Amino acid sequence: MRHGQGRARRAGAALAAVLTWAGLLAGAAGCTSNPADRSDIGEAFGKAPAPEDVIRISPDDRSKGVRPGRPLQVRVAGGRLESVKVVKSQDAQDSEVPGRVSEDGLRWEPDESRLALAAKYTVDAVALDGHGRRSARHTTFTTFVPDERFIGYVTPENRSTVGTGMIVSLEFNREIEHRAAVERAVHVTARPAVEIRPHWFGKDRLDFRPERYWKPGTQVTVSLRLRDVEGAPGVYGLQYKTFSFTVGRSQVSLVDAAAHTMQVRRDGALLATVPITAGAPKHTTYNGKMVVMEMLELTRMNGATVGFRKENGKGEYDIPDVPHALRLTDSGTFLHGNYWAPNAPGHVNVSHGCVGLMDVKGGSSDTPAGWFFDRSLVGDVIQVVHSNDKKVAPDNGLGGWNMSWKAWRAGSAAK
């Protein structure tokens, strides 16, 4: 399955319990096991309204150039909102937007009366409909950037602690014609020092990484000196900002799609081996190194959003409460928990391309998926081998580790 939302952490389960899971094998299948293979799917989800029909969010998902006078609102027609979190990303810094749910539970509005310019907003909402059924929505939109200006949206977050595979990535709001000038205005440094090189993907994305994964404990600083730099004829940068992040412990997990296992290694030592299910023969999982981009405790996954449609146009699957979801690619590859194909992990690959771990409805720390989620960081590396598929593209998510150092360095515009 390939779509997601939300972010949260919970206390971990005892490792001794984890080591017994391979024998239980009573849990998750790949992100997209075919609903036709499950007799209970219609009963479970057939009559439930789509999350977008339960939770109405304005501005619309993926809107661009939203004017500051547009209202930001989350509402439900019936039932009640359980939680709403809105994060504003501006000048490489994230801040939560304060707001409140109305007394009747039907709407949420921000305390701020106007949207910020040149910002990205992320909205995560969970609600119960009038029948007590829980729905979750994850939407984003970007606001208006004044004419003749460009900005870069930066990954990872300022002051975050990340895994050793994190790649610094800037996505620009418009195409950059003068790439060398813009590249020279972005400085990425590390302590202890290590060589860091840039690589352009097209004209609107600039990534930075070292030759090998970061060493644990490294402090990385990103300085944007883009203000008044001409990125295209008559188009000048807006940002003059510095932010930093810290590299945490090393965790690299190896998914063997043929053996249906995942080995989790912490600082080089084997922490656990857990059963998994990967992509079915018709929907195989990418091979290669993928980096955790975001972590969503609960998210909806709908096949229609990533091209898996039935003849009637509806998605081949639509599961509103997928637990413990870690996004691995822009195209929608996740590693996540599932509860709808209990006999798949460790035995058979049944998903539409994701990696599934055993879980229960609602999620639990006492499952392989919950245990792994609680021990993961954005920036951790998941490597897939022995899948009957191609290697993931280096610009699909933070996939730059799949390029040789020579090829990566060749992607610089400032020769």
Catalytic residue numbers? 336, 354
Phi-psi sector, 368: left (phi>0), alpha (psi -120 to 50), beta? alpha
The end-to-end CA distance of the chain, in Å, is 41
Other CB atoms within a 10 A radius of the CB of residue 91 amount to 19
State the DSSP code for 407: H
The tally of CA atoms less than 13 A away on the side-chain side of residue 43 is 4
Any bridge partners for residue 252, and if so which? 265, 381
Between CA 214 and CA 225 the distance in angstroms is 24
> Taking CA 179 as the corner, what is the angle to CA 331 and CA 154, rounded to the nearest 5 degrees?
50
Helix (H) or strand (E) holding 245: strand 240-247
Between CA 110 and CA 114 the distance in angstroms is 9
Residue 296's Cα: distance from chain center in Å? 7
Residue 36's Cα: distance from chain center in Å? 28
